[in-house]
Amino acid sequence: MATIPPGGTIGILGGGQLGRMLAMAAAELGLRTHIYCPDEELPAADVAGETTRAGYDDEAALARFADGVDVVTYEFENVPAAAARILSEHSIVRPGPIALATAQDRLVEKNFLKAQGIATAPFADVSDETSLRDAVEAIGTPSILKTRRFGYDGKGQAKIAAPENALAAYDEIGRAPAILEGFVPFEREISVVVARGLDGETAAYDPVENIHKNHILDRTLAPAALTKALADEACAIAARIVSELDYVGVMGVEMFLLPESGPKISHARRLLVNEIAPRVHNSGHWTMDACAVSQFEQHVRAICGWPLGRPDRHSDAVMTNLIGDEVADWARLAAEPQTAIHLYGKREARPGRKMGHATRLYPLGK
């Protein structure tokens, strides 16, 4: 079990805001970072020791990058399998390939959860028009057709209101391999940010409530207003997932909370897992200001084989994403008491682009 002490170097695949906040957390622990990303603009490169700008298919560059670092991690789940293989031939990759393969493909992910007895929306495989018809018959409508791969923030999804809309929805997602999911009449969306260390220890931050605008996370309320039994169940589900995947690092587990009364989708349970993200997660940004150890430091600790920090909060918090032009509000936010602002250094505030976030702190339990 290789532990990476201060002075070591973490390689981070991806150069966005998550990589940037990981690099800053690593620096605070005396660790160096090397960013690998093909993009032009790299928010993470501003704060990292070294940057390689190269494609995820550039085998020689990947090998050189991995040879020069003590551990490789990533800030996004769509790392090509071939790149992950090359990296693991030349370094340690954490989280490992099983977690990556599971989270990259919605069908594999849902089948994994089902095999663990973890409730999800009802789902069916769609690979052609015949299986689409069968899936609509089995799942019914309303339902949502989702591409198996490369979907995020509502992209690669089409709602099917009635069976006769199924083909149009299939066209809308480009007839890509997909799953059909039953539409969940959820009361709220919550998530658990959980970590698992190299020694198998797990630590979950309390569940939070997530409010979306235009399919993009707008606000996170920490903690979610839940009974202790539900909060414990959500954390236990998240801990089971990371343990079953032999996971090392931080994971975001998104869940739907069903209303207390009304139809239950699966096994009469109120919590359904929507998806898992094998990385630090937007719904965990509040931990930077409301916990002694943030999700970013926690991820660094886990992948370097350090003891995990306790996930306790010293404050309650509301995290608001600054999307597109909203970032123009930075001066007003900076003048607010008990508000921490984090700006990602992106040059252009395009619509839908995450430019930063602000976290307002409140006394516990208020």
- Interacting residues toward ligand AMP by CB under 6 A: 121, 144, 151, 154, 181, 183-184, 189, 212, 215, 254, 274-275
Specify the 3-state DSSP secondary structure of 210.
strand
Instruction: Select 62 or 119, whichever has its Cβ closest to ligand AMP.
Output: 119
Query: Of 270, 276, 286, 292, whose CA–CA distance to 339 is shortest?
Result: 286
CA dist list (Å): 148 to 75, 83, 258:
19, 20, 24
Instruction: Select 140 or 151, whichever has its Cβ closest to ligand AMP.
Output: 151
Q: Measured from the CB of residue 142, what is the shortest distance to ligand AMP in angstroms?
A: 8
Instruction: Select 89 or 187, whichever has its Cβ closest to ligand AMP.
Output: 187
Instruction: Select 76 or 183, whichever has its Cβ closest to ligand AMP.
Output: 183
CB 313 within 8 A of CB 223: yes
Specify the 3-state DSSP secondary structure of 81.
helix
Q: Measured from the CB of residue 141, what is the shortest distance to ligand AMP in angstroms?
A: 12
CB 186 within 8 A of CB 249: no
Q: Measured from the CB of residue 42, what is the shortest distance to ligand AMP in angstroms?
A: 25
Cα angle 66, 49, 5; round to 5: 65
Q: Measured from the CB of residue 143, what is the shortest distance to ligand AMP in angstroms?
A: 7
**Beta bridge partners of residue 184, listed in sequence order:** none
Q: Measured from the CB of residue 68, what is the shortest distance to ligand AMP in angstroms?
A: 35
CA dist list (Å): 236 to 102, 232, 240, 262:
19, 6, 6, 24
Instruction: Select 84 or 184, whichever has its Cβ closest to ligand AMP.
Output: 184
